[in-house]
A = this chain, B = another copy of it.
Amino acid sequence: MLYTPAVPRILATYHLACPRKQVEAAARWIAVEQTVEVPDALIDAHIEEAIVGRVESIDTLEDGRFAVAISYDAALAGGQLPQLLSLVFGNVSLGNFVRLERLALPAEFLARFRGPNFGVAGLRELVGVPDRPLLATALKPRGKSVAEFAALAGGFARGGGDLVKDDHNLVDARFEDFDERVRRCQAAVEETNAATGGRCLYLPYVCAPADELDRYVAAVRGHGVRGVLVAPMIAGLDTVRALAERERMLVMSHPTFTGAFQHDRNHGLEPGLLLGLLFRLAGIDVSVFVNSGGRFDFTREECGGIATALRAPLGDLPPAWPCPAGGMQFDRVGEMVAQFGPDTVLLVGGALLTHAPDVTDATRAYLDAVREAG
């Protein structure tokens, strides 16, 4: 039975690490576990037809695993992101041999999502950079004073940098401390922009108790800030979606706490599916991920897959920005630009801060390298 895109079904392709003689039972197990979760005796003809997932195809992969395509009636996802996660990977996450590799979503489902507020074109307009890759940095390390962070932010803006975000470790116990830091860092960037004619953006990290998130975001807006950094797998993916939809700000995501979904190539979520497709559905404009060859173990292909998922056609959703990060050294700028292309944000944190004694000089040097590579 072939998948018919005209029928509004969600198509999930899983890679299964199981013996050949078990693959058909495993495919059926997923189709049942993800939808009705009952013994076969309780599945009547109506439920089989209307609710249970359909095993559309089983193919053998080169590495000996199996690609199993299962389709679900889109109605099972209830038109919402939380239930989509549960439908395609909820219970099977509790197994240990199921990797959700691809997800095709019907137009009717996609139409419920706004996606990135700015995306590639919108952010280019915001920062006034028509064609080159963007340069971002992080305010770090935690432990520096607010004055030092403001000076860093201003210095980066003076050097021509495009996006300066809080390190995701900058989380204060007191709202007042958060508010003060945001106010002063934003002021430093705005003052520098006014002096240079630049359009650098400051993105504070919004990490708050769930019942205080609105207050934090309102404070950010009150200081004239245009965007935020969020951690979708900590705040909740749909909490981020709702925030992006309501606030219409620029939203950059940090991959903290996402790793357990991705570290095992035989189980979990393909990185492009999580940090690309799902984050983009949630309205992420810029998705930070750890690049290959840095401090972590992601492959060049996985990182390329994230970039592809962020920019590939997806209903009417604008394309988003891949943002490779994680121990990016100066001499890799050319390679990264070559791999990811112009519609990329290069996030350089510690490497920028150690590149030159002065952050403005370091920023200029990195920007020169970016321009040269482009």
Residues A350 and B38 in contact in the complex (CB < 8 Å), given A78-B171, A78-B172: yes
Residues of A within 8 A of B (CB): 33-39, 41-43, 46-47, 50-51, 75-83, 85-87, 89-96, 140-144, 167-169, 171-173, 207-211, 231, 234-239, 241-242, 245-246, 255-264, 267-269, 290, 295-298, 326, 349-351, 353-354
In this complex, the member of A46, A167, A169, A267 whose beta carbon has the largest number of chain B beta carbons within 10 angstroms is: A169
* Other-chain residue from B38, B210, B263, B349 in contact with A264 (beta carbon distance below 8 A): B263
Q: How many copies does the complex hold?
A: 2
Judging by beta carbons under 8 Å apart, are A94 and B264 in contact? no
Judging by beta carbons under 8 Å apart, are A349 and B207 in contact? no
In this complex, the member of A37, A75, A237 whose beta carbon has the largest number of chain B beta carbons within 10 angstroms is: A37
Known: A51-B142, A90-B257, A264-B264. 15 other contacts (CB 8 A): A51-B141, A78-B172, A80-B173, A81-B209, A82-B208, A83-B171, A83-B207, A85-B257, A89-B257, A93-B259, A94-B259, A94-B262, A209-B241, A260-B267, A263-B267
* Other-chain residue from B86, B239, B349 in contact with A210 (beta carbon distance below 8 A): B239
In this complex, the member of A33, A80, A234, A267 whose beta carbon has the largest number of chain B beta carbons within 10 angstroms is: A234
* Other-chain residue from B43, B211, B257, B349 in contact with A86 (beta carbon distance below 8 A): B257
Judging by beta carbons under 8 Å apart, are B260 and A93 in contact? yes
Judging by beta carbons under 8 Å apart, are B234 and A90 in contact? yes
Judging by beta carbons under 8 Å apart, are B94 and A209 in contact? no
Q: In the bound complex, how far is the Cα of B77 from the Cα of A349, in angstroms? A: 22
8 A-B pairs (CB sep. < 8 Å): A38-B140, A39-B354, A43-B141, A82-B208, A211-B246, A235-B236, A239-B239, A264-B264
A112 CB to closest chain B CB, in angstroms? 9
Set of chain B residues within 8 Å of A264, measured between Cβ atoms: 96, 260, 263-264, 267
Set of chain B residues within 8 Å of A263, measured between Cβ atoms: 93-96, 264, 267
In this complex, the member of A34, A42, A75, A140 whose beta carbon has the largest number of chain B beta carbons within 10 angstroms is: A42
Residue of B nearest to A245 (CB): B211
Q: In the bound complex, how far is the Cα of B76 from the Cα of A207, in angstroms? A: 12
* Other-chain residue from B86, B298, B353 in contact with A38 (beta carbon distance below 8 A): B353
Set of chain B residues within 8 Å of A235, measured between Cβ atoms: 82, 236, 238
A259 CB to closest chain B CB, in angstroms? 3
Set of chain B residues within 8 Å of A85, measured between Cβ atoms: 234, 257
